[in-house]
Amino acid sequence: MNKHFEDYKPQTFNQIVFEEHDIQQQLLGYASGSKRKNILLWGKPGGGKSLIADIIASNSRSENTVFSSDRATVINGDSWNKKSIDMILGAYNTGSSYVVIDEVDELKDNQKELTAFIDRYGRVGKLILTTNVAPASLLQRLVDRCDTIEIKLPTSQSNFPQVRKMFNENGCKHYTDEAIKTLIATTNGSWRQIETMFEDEIYYNAR
């Protein structure tokens, strides 16, 4: 029975390939609770920002703690509405470790509302914001209220073992090591694009 990409998705910090070791240690500090600040994760699509936010929001205590999705409150920037602030406050009041706001650039003018909320309630550090755009494209006052961390795309070499395992375990053994490396290179290391290629290959292989 073929697996899906989600079955291979990293669930702990141990399984995520970081291009810079100090970034991994910094993020572990947030996940363990030793650091307590609002966080802005930014970088090109497919680098794992949302996944990292989910792991931190699950209040992991070590590199091996598995992410539990029911412990995070997640709001997508393009679905922001009048009830979003109430949702965040509700999460705060019920003891949610962090609240994740994906694609915060999609808030547009509502970034001002979020900044005002942080000034009133959120300076203790309970927000994780993600975006595919550079911080300079966001409201500067919002950026100033967060620790800003760039999440870089993994290199083809670092992704290779996991991608080879995905293909080999799903009947795609006709892919040579060189073919897999070439496939990864065409995605520039983006896990989002690798996911699309993997699911397409599994679909055609099953026909």
Q: What is the pLDDT of residue 47?
A: 81
What b/e string do you get for 142-154 counting C-beta neighbours within 10 Å, with b at 16 or more? bbebbeebbbebb
The torsion of the CA quartet 41, 42, 47, 52, rounded to 10 degrees, works out to 10
Q: Which residues does the chain have with pLDDT short of 70? A: 1-5, 9-11, 59-72, 94-97, 122-125, 155-157, 188-189, 202-207
Amino acid of residue 162: Q
Short-list 44, 41, 67, CA closest to 54: 67
**pTM attached to this predicted model:** 0.77
Beta 127-131 vs 73-76: how paired, if at all?
unpaired
For residue 124, the model assigns a pLDDT of 62
Angle, CA of 36, 40 and 46, to the nearest 5°: 125
> Cα angle vertex 200, ends 193, 179, to 5°?
70
Q: Give the per-residue pLDDT at 69.
A: 40
